[in-house]
Amino acid sequence: MTQDAETLGTMLARRGFGRRSLLKFAIVMTSSLALPPSLAPVMADNLAKAKRQSVIWLSFQECTGCLETLLRSSAPTIDALIFDFISLDYQEALMASAGAAAELTLRQAVAANQGEYLLAIDGSVPLKDGGVYSLTGGRSNVSMLEEFAVGAKAILAIGTCAAYGGIPKAHPNPTGAVGVEDVISGKPIVNIPGCPPVPEVLSGVLVYFVSFGRLPDLDDRKRPLAYFGTTIHDQCYRRPFYDQGKFAKSFDDEGARQGWCLFELGCKGPTTHNACASLKWNNGTSFPIESGHGCIGCSEPDFWDQGGFYTSLAGGSAAGWRNAGIAAAVGLAGGAAAALSARSKSSRPPEDKP
């Protein structure tokens, strides 16, 4: 629990992992994070000198899907991440202790790593009626968030619920659910949205933080640029069919069987920023569009209230989609330019910041 003086390099060397293995790992991670290849040796050296990062994970108004996604990370795997790079000092669903023993573990971890731990949050924060709709040990989520955010070096809002309020915030929002940044200010916060988020995005952010001591470059919604700088539409393998005007009209027609674009079946890829199409899921096996279903836009704010999942962006009437059809009709040229700019920015070497 207390941060060990032993560096990651020394610890990994004892387990038979030399610099070559660490460099191979750094090459994979710099590529994932859209960093220049020249930074791989720098990342490897930084990781070798670093100590395991304390992470305190609190689950609020959620479904456990975000934790499940971490357990399926393949780069690095969950066992390598927890046992080699971070010290997951508190996570209710994964730890052996419960009740008073778990509470003691939490307090000890916070005291031992004051000002240095990463605070990971999954689930929205209910505010209505004093936050009584989600409690841990009789305490409201909001009171726990406010207390433990104070000693955190940075906060990870994991999943759309923690980032923006997610499904619990959907109309009529009976619990008054909000995202982490609606409660906390004055702390570095990174939003890693998705329902659930792509596991390699979460592990990539953690490895970056361990390597460079800060969060990666973020967009205007505090999402990592390397993973959210482009839309799913711009990375989609079905994009050429969109450009050719070839659209599936139903999920079982000839166009669908030929892999044509799912835009007219409600795909929200043109307005959704995420890395699903590039990183994919289940060790890079597939993602929803590749499996034959349109993107539902789950990594965007208020996605649940933005019209039907099977209503085309061009024909939707909800406020969030009114301009989307126009953008799609012109091929999202502006989106492509923004994507190029985002990738360029995310490829800059990390800067030293006070």
5 or 212, greater pLDDT: 212
Q: Do 74 and 200 lie in a common domain?
A: yes
351 phi/psi in degrees, rounded to 5: -100, 150
Q: What is the CATH number of the domain that holds 189?
A: 3.40.50.700
- For residue 205, what are the contacts with CB-CB under 8 A and spacing of at least 6? 156, 190, 192, 215, 216, 224
Q: Do 175 and 263 lie in a common domain?
A: no
| pLDDT greater than 80 at residue 80 | no
Give residue-wise pLDDT tens across range 258-313. 999 999 999 999 999 999 999 998 888 999 999 999 999 999 999 999 889 999 99
Give residue-wise pLDDT tens across range 116-145. 999 999 999 999 999 999 999 899 999 999
Q: Do 211 and 242 lie in a common domain?
A: no
| pLDDT greater than 80 at residue 323 | no
Q: Is residue 8 part of a domain?
A: no
Helix axes of 19-32 and 199-212: crossing angle, nearest 10 degrees: 120
d(CA 199, CA 204): 9
- For residue 10, what are the contacts with CB-CB under 8 A and spacing of at least 6? none
3-state SS string for 95-141: CCCCHHHHHHHHHHHHHHCCCCEEEEEECEEECHHHHCCCEECCEEH
Q: Do 56 and 196 lie in a common domain?
A: yes
Give residue-wise pLDDT tens across range 133-186. 999 989 999 999 999 999 999 999 999 999 999 999 999 999 999 999 999 999
**3 state DSSP class of 347:** coil
Q: Do 63 and 186 lie in a common domain?
A: yes
Q: What is the largest CA-CA distance in the chain?
A: 62
Q: Is residue 150 part of a domain?
A: yes
Q: Do 85 and 200 lie in a common domain?
A: yes
Q: Do 245 and 211 lie in a common domain?
A: no
Predicted pLDDT of residue 330:
42
154 phi/psi in degrees, rounded to 5: -160, 165
d(CA 52, CA 238): 41
- For residue 84, what are the contacts with CB-CB under 8 A and spacing of at least 6? 8, 11, 12, 52, 76
Q: Do 252 and 305 lie in a common domain?
A: yes
Domains in the chain, number? 2
Predicted pLDDT of residue 60:
96
Give pTM, 2 decimals: 0.85
Q: Is residue 15 part of a domain?
A: no
Q: What is the CATH number of the domain that holds 335?
A: 4.10.480.10
Q: Is residue 184 part of a domain?
A: yes
